[in-house]
Each structure stands twice: as C-alpha cells, then as structure tokens.
Amino acid sequence: MAREDDRAREEFTSEAEELLDTLSRDLADFESQGANVRPELVNKIFREVHSLKGLAGMLGFTEISELSHSLEDMLDRLRMGRVAISKDLVDLLYDSVDSLNRLVIAINDPSLSGLVDMTGLTRRIHQIVTNQPQQKHGDAFSELTLDEQTRKSLTEYEEHRLLENVRAGKHILSLEVTFDFSDFDERLRTITANLSEAGEVISTLPAIPTGNINGIAFRLLYGSTLDVDAVAVLAPEANVSSLRKTAPATPTPAPVTPAPEVEEEMSLRSLSQTVRVDIAKLDHVMNIVGELIIEKTQLEALTRAIAMQQARMASHELGKISRNLDRKLNELQKSVIEIRMVPVGQIYSKLSRTVRKVARELNKEIELILRGEDTELDKMMVEELTDPLMHIIRNALDHGIEPADERKAAGKNPVGRVTLTAYQQGNSVVLDVTDDGRGINPEKIRRVAVERGLIGEKDTVDLARAYELMFTPGFSTAAAVSEISGRGVGLDVVKKNIQDLKGSIDVITHLGEGTTFRVSLPITLAIIQALIVEAGGDKFAIPLTSVEESLRIYSRDIRTVERREVFTLRDFTLPLLRLADAFGLEDHHDHGPDTKWFVVVTRAGEKTIGILVNALVRQQEVVIKSIGERLKTIPGIAGATEIGESEIVLVVDVGSLIDHFGGRAREVRAAVLS
Amino acid sequence: MKILVVEDSSSMRAYLTTIIESGSESYELEIIEAASGFEALKTLPHHKFDAILTDINMPDINGLELVSFLKNHPVYRNIPIMVISTESTEEDRRRAAALGAEEYLVKPFQAGDLVEKLRRLLRVA
C-alpha cells in the first residue's frame, strides 16, 4: 500500500498544482472583470476549489482540505449572490491560492510546512462570510412555465442563476436540440459558446429524443436579453420557446454577432488533449535521439570516406540510408521537442501573484498585463525562467515604477503598468518586461557605480555603459538593498541564469517613459543546428540560432579602427573577432591582402560581432554535451559535441564571446539617440 | 460486472478505480472511466453497464442532469446509480435521491464504505 500511497500523493500533487495554476489564471480574469464578473467564471473558480477540497480530503491532507473547504464555502455564497465582490475578497482569494500552493509544495518537502498562517486566513474568510446580509430567496418560479422534471434536475446553483436571470428581466428561453451520439458534444459546445456571447446558458439537460433512437436530445435553459426570434437566428438547429408567462419589460437590443465558431472549437479541443508527461521520461527519449544523431553523423562520415575511395555504389547506397535515417530522425526529434513544449502562460499565474504581493509591500498600485501566454517554450526552460523573470519584474516595480505622487506630478496615470509579452522570433522566444516608469538615468547609474567603486570618479557613463554597469556584480541602484529587489542577488545573477539557458538579456529605456528588459531564449537546448567552421587548424560549432549570415571576404577588406579590426557590412561597422585568437590558437592562415576569410555574422541579444574563420565546413545538427566544471570558466565555450569519425569539437557560446571581447549593438545606439 | 466511473478529477478517478478493484475479489470487473458528463453519455451506447458511479460537480453537464437523463431513458433507466459528492452539497444529495439515484456517498469516505455500497448496488455478496 505504501507504494500506492506514494503514487496517489504524486498524482494528487500534480493535479493540485494544475488546479492551482488554472485557479490563479481565473482569479486574474475575475479581478479584471470587476463587478461585472461573469457568473460562469465564478462558478468555475468555485468548482476548482471544490475539486481541490475533495481530493485533499480523500487523501488526508488536512490543512489543504480545511482551507479549501472554508474557501469553497465563501465561493459558494459568492456564486449564490450571498457575498458581494470586494477588494478584500479578491486579496483574500489571492492570498489563499498562494497559501494553498505552499501547502501543496510542503507535501513533498515537509521542511517548508508551517509557513502558512491558517488561523489568519480562516479568520479573514469568516469575516467576509459573516459581514454579509443574508439575502432572502424569493419564488421567481411562479413567473415561469417549467416542468417538474427539469426543475428537479437543476442543482441549487443552477436554480439560483435561473432566478437571478428572471429578476434581471432577461428572457428565459428553452432550446431543444437533437444530435447524433457521435458528435453531440462538439455541436453542443459550439452552440453553448455562441449563446454565451449574448447571455447565460443556465443548464444543459440531456433528454430522450422522440423518433431518433441513435440520437440524444438536450434542453438548454438560457437567460438572455435576446428574445425567441433573435435566439432562433443564433441557434438555427434549436427549437426555441419562451418559458416566461409574460414577456419581460426590458427593451431587447439587436442580436450581437457571435464569435467565430472555428476558434471556439479549437480552444476547446486543445483543452481536452492535454497529456501530463513525466519530464524524466522525455529526457530519456531526448537522449536516445541525441545518440541516434551521433550514429547518423558517423554514417555520414563513413559515406564521405568511401566516396573518396571511389566506391561509388556503396557510397550511393549508404547515402540513401543516411538520408532516410535523417528524415526519420527529424520527425522523431520534432515530435519530442513538441512534447517538451509548454505555454509560458504556465508561469504567468505565479508571476501575477508575486506582483500583487510586491505591489502591496511597496504600497504601489500596479496593473500587470500579460500577453502571449500561448507562446511555447521547453518545459525545463520555463521552470528555469521563473526566478530571473520574477527578479526583473520585482526590479521594475521597485526601481522602474515611481511612487504615485511622483507619477501624478509627471502627468502619468498614478497606477503603474508592467507588461510582460512573450512571442516567438525565428528559433527564439522573446520575453519583454516593460514598465511605464521613470526610465534609466545614466547619470544616476554613474553615481552609484562610482560609489560602489566599479568606475573612477571621472569616468563618463553613456546609456550603453549604464546597461553594462547594471549587470555588473556588486551593483545595486537601491540606496540600501531592499527586501523586494534585493534578495541578495543583483541583475548580474539574472544575466548569468539567462546565459546558462543560452539566452541573452538586453535593456531598452526611454527616460521618463519606461524601460524594457528583453530576454531572448532558444526554443530548446538539447539539440541544435550548428555551423561547423575551421579556425587555426581546429573545427568549431557555432549554434545557428546565433548566426545571422556568413560571407567571404579578403584580408584587404579588414580595416582597423581604434585598434580594433572591423569590416564594413553594408552601412554598419562590424567589429571582428579572429576565432583562433579568441582561443589562443596559432593561425598561419594569413598570407597577405588576397587571403580568403569567412565572416560569420553572429548576434546575441542586440549585440553583433563578426567571427573570422578560415573555412565554413558544413551545417549539421549537434547534441551539446557538457564539458565539465574545469572548463566552464573559459569564456566562449558552451560545451562540446561529436561531429562524426569520433571527432570532438567545441561549441561556441556567442553570448559570452561577445561579452568578453565586445560586440556592437545596432538597436541600442538608436535608443540612445532617440 | 461493468462499471462506469464519471469523475472530472483524474487523480480522484484513479483513486476510485483502485478502491473498486481492490474490493472486487468475488466478481469479475471491468471499469470504464469518463472525465465528464458528455464523455459518460458518449460511452453509453457502447457498453452494457451494471452500475454507474458519478460525481455531481462537473463541467458540461452535471451529475444530477446525468441521473435525470438515465432514469428517464427507456434503455438505461434500470442501471443502478451511485452519486459520489461532498458534504457541502447536501441539497444536491436530496435532489439526486428525488431523481432516482439508488446510492449516495459523501466525500471524503472510507474505502470500505465505497466497496460495501457498490456491492449493494450490484447485488453481489
């Protein structure tokens, strides 16, 4: 039984986490809908808490079960209209979900238990529940012609919603539809989605169809401002009739256009097709794919070797096998990568909870806008991303957004706004954290940097230099390291975390208008496309996500500006880096002005550098393997990979190469000028 | 014996199934799971169920609506039904009985209670 208990606990934790995530998202919607919150949403939140309570109760997680029980009771009153929506209630809901999250985490890590103030929460819930006047339930049924069977099948909640619709003077309609057993759910969902645009589907009662033994009938109770005729247009397949004995007195507005059906259906389908997969299993599959790719690479190498020895037929055959293998591998790799992808929206709920908490601690009013929650990213990356993002957002709240009176004086909305936008750009996912605060003042950065002894008294600081300083260890703009953005770490740690994910971070600021922190990440880490190059007699792999283009030049095209080799790429002066020099290799390649070179134009974040190599070998997939602790400190190396014939090459880390040897930004310059 | 378990929570479904299986030494058992009222309706024509266990609070159609449908259906009306729900919906419990559900079980429950009530429902020793 012990193992079964473990399994049950595991399943519970995973489902509870999912429930709480959904709950947080719904709470954010709930808050944004304000006093006009849709009853369906309140009911959904109630149901989620109800499920959590049921689960926790069965498995004996007393604290979770008790807290969710009190919450459920409060939410039940809320959906029944016996408790009003207030700021206290919203705050309490957020705090409760936060506490429930902690309790769920504490199941697997008992050292974390005792962090939740159960008594305080229970007291607050009790206050809200008892402060409300009890509403009496009038009998609005007398105004309807409703048969006994239908009335009996309503839950208490549905009955309440029906009466609310009657009281609000809505048309109360009955829609009868008959469908085939095979697709009734999809068709019913489409109808319900359409109807919900213009009213509330109160109940969906299955019924026995007359004359169609293979079908199933439904009777929908619908409250709407639309009358019978308008609804008949909206749902042409339904038999619509009014249940009111007398028509409501309110005027009926014209029918609204329902949302496009296709979209509704798609979003519903994606809901039911979610699979929960253990990430360890996926890692395993990913490793197999990685090893298969190494095998394939060796096969390719063998093919090349045979080709050189004129064994044409064999070479041809091997080539065919290799291509087939390649196709299959691509398929496998693509599908595995897809399984690993999760929407970044998964961490949005955690972020919005933190923002609320931090805003309250700082006594600032903040509006958080979350965009692009469907943007997908590797599951592991999403996990690793939470802390750095949290830190950037905290930073924006603490240092970016001004206090309300300062904002008012500047003619801004006293409520500060932080926007998190996620979107895909080629093979990268970009996350922008934008605030509408005071912007970064280079002079202020300069003063702090001088104070911290990072630069000399007389050093000048322009915007580009200010960005660099902000990410330098030992820098913090707060007079004292505040609890909020402090936490013992600075932006330098954020930058390191993001670089560990092979990503980059950039800052774009406009003084007085706000700042954007832009985090770009590769969509996945495990397998990448790389450009194999040769420099100083050795081969290297450059990740294709960092490569913008490559071109052939001659030694005479290389100029020297301020002791730095550069190349004029169209209208841009591109700083160059000889890859052989970067790794201290001897290079005997240069034989005068006519020597051929290749420039690989690479980019990390906003910065660009041209990597000078002797030859481009080919493009291929590589599996990055770690090279161990000892070599980790060498800048410019992301890992190693095998590219066939047991040949091991280093994978270049463009981000740290640029950091170490300096690149040049195109966009930042524009930002400084504007 | 073929049983339909209708419950939207996957871990609760797994838990119910484990208990039912562990209490079924004396009879052959097959459990079909449905994660919503709609799913339950969809499976109906494909099986001959000896009992149906259903939660009340579910998305799309709720447990009461499912009971109401089944108990009025010429083919399905004789399948015994057990409604499994929480104590907070006392009123709904009364309604389930009025609609003709044979058994009611309150969450959280003891594994033994579920096994016992299910035996009664299936009329097995």
CATH value at residue A535: 2.40.50.180
Higher-scoring residue by pLDDT: A487, B73 = B73
User: A138-169 pLDDT, tens per residue?
Assistant: 566 778 888 877 887 888 888 888 888 888 88
Per-residue confidence (pLDDT) for residue A252, from 0 to 100: 43
A379 with A516, same domain: the answer is: yes
Q: Determine, for residues A11 and B10 on separate chains, whether the beta-carbon distance falls below 8 Å.
A: yes
Same domain, A474 and A555: no
* pLDDT over 70 (residue A23): yes
Residue A123 CA to residue A100 CA, distance in Å, equals: 16
pLDDT, residue A273, reads: 43
- Nearest residue on chain A to B90, alpha-carbon basis: A156
Question: Are the CB atoms for A249 and A166 separated by under 8 Å?
Answer: no
Q: Same domain for A359 and A337?
A: no
| pLDDT number for residue A614 | 92
Minimum mean pLDDT range among A186-190, A622-626, A644-648, A665-669: A665-669
Alpha-carbon gap, residue A8 to A239, rounded angstroms: 46
Mean pLDDT value of segment A260-279 = 43
pLDDT at A479: 40
d(Cα A468, Cα A168) in Å, to the nearest integer? 60
Please report which helix (H) or strand (E) contains residue A633, including its range.
Answer: none
Same domain, A377 and A499: yes
Q: Tokens at residue A255, please? A: 């029918």
- Tell whether A330 and A349 lie within a shared domain: no
Which residue, among A104, A5, A220, has the nearest Cα to B61 in the 3D structure?
A220
Strands A648-652 and A538-543 come out as parallel
The per-residue pLDDT for range B35-81, each reduced to its tens digit, is: 999 899 988 888 899 999 999 888 788 888 899 999 988 889 999 99
Are B11 and A12 an interchain contact pair (Cβ–Cβ within 8 Å)? yes
User: Domain check: are A652 and A531 in the same one?
Assistant: yes
At residue A11 the predicted structure's pLDDT band, cuts being 50, 70 and 90, is confident
Beta strand A572-578 with A596-604 is unpaired
Rounded Cα gap, residues A281 and B17, in angstroms? 25
User: Between these two residues, A592 and A203, which has the higher pLDDT value?
Assistant: A203
Q: How far apart are CA B16 and CA A333, in angstroms?
A: 37
Inform me whether the pLDDT recorded for A444 exceeds 60: yes
CA A645 to chain centre: 40
Task: Tell me which chain A residues have a C-beta less than 8 angstroms from the C-beta of B44.
Answer: 181
pLDDT digit string, tens, across residues A216-235: 888 899 999 888 888 888 88
Q: Strand, coil or helix: what is A516?
A: strand
Q: Do A152 and B72 touch (CB under 8 A)?
A: no
Q: Is residue A274 part of a domain?
A: no
Contact call for B11 and A216, based on CB within 8 A: no
Residue A353 included in any domain: yes
Whether the CB-CB separation of A352 and A28 falls below 8 Å is answered with yes
- What span, in angstroms and rounded, lies between the C-alpha atoms of A631 and A377? 28
- Residues A582-600, mean pLDDT to the nearest whole number: 85
Same domain, A436 and A548: no
Average pLDDT, chain A: 80
Question: Who's near A608: CB < 8 A, 6+ residues apart?
Answer: A548, A572, A574, A575, A601, A602, A663, A664, A665, A666
A655 shares its domain with A577: yes
The average pLDDT across A260-278 equals 42
Using an 8 Å CB-CB cutoff, list chain B residues near A9.
Answer: none
B38 vs A54: CB contact, 8 Å cut-off? Answer: no
Q: Within a domain: residue A472?
A: yes
Tell me, what's the pLDDT at A482? Answer: 46
CATH ID of B2-122, from 3.40.50.2300, 3.90.550.10, 3.20.20.70, 1.10.3720.10: 3.40.50.2300
Q: What six digits make up the tokens of A88?
A: 């206290």
Residue ranges of domains in chain B? 2-122
Burial of A176 (0-12, 13-18, 19+ CB in 10 A): middle
**Maximum Cα interatomic distance, chain A, rounded to a whole number of Å:** 100
Identify whether residues A20 and A125 lie together within a single domain: yes
pLDDT for A650 beyond 60: yes
| Final residue before a domain boundary, out of A305, A327, A342 | A342
DSSP states of B77-118: TTS-EEEEEEGGGHHHHHHHHHHT-SEEEEES--HHHHHHHH
Domain of residue A260 covers 141-269
Residues A249 and A190 in one domain: yes
Alpha-carbon span A567 to A574, nearest angstrom: 5
> Does A413 lie in the same domain as A333?
no
Residue A263: beta bridge partners? none
ipTM, 2 decimals? 0.80
Whether the pLDDT of residue A485 is over 70: the answer is: no
- Give B51→chain A minimum CA distance, Å: 19
Ranges A19-23, A309-313, A589-593, B64-68: which has the least confidence: A309-313
Q: Residues with Cβ < 8 Å from A207, sequence gap 6 or more?
A: A176, A216, A217, A218, A219, B69, B72
Environment class of residue A363 by beta-carbon count within 10 Å: exposed (0-12), middle (13-18) or buried (19+)? exposed
A–B CB contacts, 8 A cutoff, strictly below: 109
In the prediction, which pLDDT does A139 show? 65
- Find the Cα–Cα–Cα–Cα dihedral A393, A394, A398, A399, rounded to 10°: -50
Domain boundary among A488, A522, A556: A522
Compute the distance between CA of residue A396 and CA of residue A173 in angstroms, rounded to an integer.
50
Tens-digit pLDDT profile for residues A63-84: 898 899 899 989 988 888 888 8
Q: Regarding beta strands A607-613 and A664-665, do their DSSP bridges make them parallel or antiparallel, or are they unpaired?
A: antiparallel
**pLDDT value for A645:** 65
Chain A residues lying within 8 Å of B98, measured CB to CB: 152
CB contact under 8 A, B99 and A153: yes
C-alpha distance from residue B54 to each of B17, B41, B84 (Å): 12, 12, 6
Q: Are A95 and A26 within one domain?
A: yes
| B64/A154 Cβ within 8 A | yes
Residues of chain A contacting B92 with CB distance shorter than 8 Å: 155-156
| More reliable by pLDDT, A373 or A251 | A373
- CB A477, CB A445: distance < 8 Å: yes
Q: What is the pLDDT of residue A378?
A: 82
Q: Tell me: the pLDDT tens digits for A237-253?
A: 888 988 887 766 544 44
The Cβ-side half-sphere exposure at A497, using a 13 Å CA radius, reads 20
- Give the three-state DSSP class for A423: strand
Of the listed ranges A326-330, A481-485, A560-564, A594-598, the least confidently predicted one is A481-485
Interface probe, candidates A61, A154, A155, chain B, greatest B C-beta count within 10 A? A155
CB-based contact A205 B69, cutoff 8 Å: yes
Question: pLDDT at residue A457 above 50?
Answer: yes
Q: What pLDDT sits at residue A249?
A: 57
- B24: CB partners within 8 A, 6+ apart: B1
Q: Which of A658, A670, A536 is nearest to A603 (CA)?
A: A658
B108 with A57: Cβ contact below 8 A? yes
What pLDDT shows up at residue A112? 65
DSSP code of residue A644? S
Residue B101: its pLDDT value, please? 93
Of B9, B44, B95, which is closest to A51 when you measure between CB atoms? Answer: B9
Give pTM, 2 decimals. Answer: 0.51
Instruction: State the pLDDT at residue A451.
Output: 85
Contacts of B37 in chain A (CB under 8 A): 206
Residue A135 belongs to some domain of the structure: no
Closest Cα in chain A to B73 = A208
Residues A90/A68, Cβ–Cβ less than 8 Å: no
Sign of CA dihedral A157, A163, A169, A171: positive
CB-closest option in B69, B86, B95 to A206: B69
Separation of alpha carbons A362 and B76, rounded Å:
61
Contact across the interface for B72 and A69, Cβ inside 8 Å: no
In a domain, A633, yes or no: yes
Give the number of domains in chain A.
Answer: 5
pLDDT at A514: 92
Residue A555: Cβ-neighbour burial (10 angstroms; 0-12, 13-18, 19+): middle
The answer to whether B38 contacts A4, with C-beta atoms less than 8 Å apart, is: no
CA dihedral (A324, A327, A328, A330) positive or negative: positive
Flag whether A110 is in a domain. Answer: yes
Residue A545 is assigned to a structural domain of this protein: yes
- Tell me whether residue A136 is in a domain: no
> What residues of A are in the B interface, CB distance below 8 Å?
4, 8, 11-12, 14-15, 47, 50-51, 53-55, 57-60, 65, 69, 72-73, 76, 149, 152-156, 158, 181, 184-185, 188-189, 203-208, 214, 216
pLDDT confidence of A266, banded at 50, 70, 90? very low
pLDDT tens-place string over residues A517-532? 999 888 766 567 889 9
- Look at residue A306 and tell me whether its pLDDT is greater than 50: yes
Cis peptide before B59 (omega within 30 of 0): no
Among B11, B59, B92, whose Cβ lies nearest the Cβ of A15? B11
